[in-house]
Amino acid sequence: MSDQFVNAAQDNMSAIERLLKGLPGIKGYVDKELRRDADKRLRTMIAANLEEQKHALFELQTKLMKSGGLSLLDEMDSAVQKLQILIDRIKTASYGYAGLFDAVKIEAEQLNALHRFDVALAERTAEVESGIQAIGAAVEKQGDIAQAIEDLAKRLNDLNSLVGRRAEAIVSPDLLMDVANLPEVDPKLLDE
């Protein structure tokens, strides 16, 4: 998924950058920097998508108020807060790769494993959107709004947990080498 960003970055490299990339010992560093930038862009896109979902949730909250669903406003507000926390955590997530002189180093294969977390976040962002759509449908049809809000809250908790696992893996990069620690993702989305 983020390979499109890596490819775009490689296409936009200047002649000097390409020359530096050809020097022994520098190629891997430049490739990691490109991957780091691509993963940052992916997380920025994820956060922007979640911001859009937050605005949709605000609109549903307003609809709910107007339709007499005041008893569910606390649950809706809690979902909005969880979504905002998720957005903030994704926006401020570490890149996962330290510079040449930093204490914690993440090697290329660990960076690829870390990429799985970002792909999983992107993949699961669609679940948030469908959860918000389910709330919208429940509001429109006077359905089980409370259950739809609860389902969304669970999805948001799961995503926040995934972001937490990603942060833990950055601090302890050896966790990235154990497949059991990595999130499940659609293999077609991986570009490793």
- pLDDT tens track for 46-89: 899 999 999 999 999 998 888 877 888 899 999 999 999 999 99
- Domain that residue 118 falls in: 3-189
pLDDT in tens, 111-130: 777 778 888 888 888 899 99
Largest CA distance in the chain: 68
- Whether the CB-CB separation of 186 and 123 falls below 8 Å is answered with yes
DSSP state, 189?
Answer: G
Q: Per 3-state DSSP, what percentage of the chain is helix, strand, and coil (rounded to 5)?
A: 80, 0, 20
pLDDT of amino acid 95: 62
C-alpha distances (whole Å) from 16 to each of 12, 25, 181 are 11, 16, 39
Q: In total, how many domains does the chain have?
A: 1
Position 118: which residue type? D
pTM: 0.73
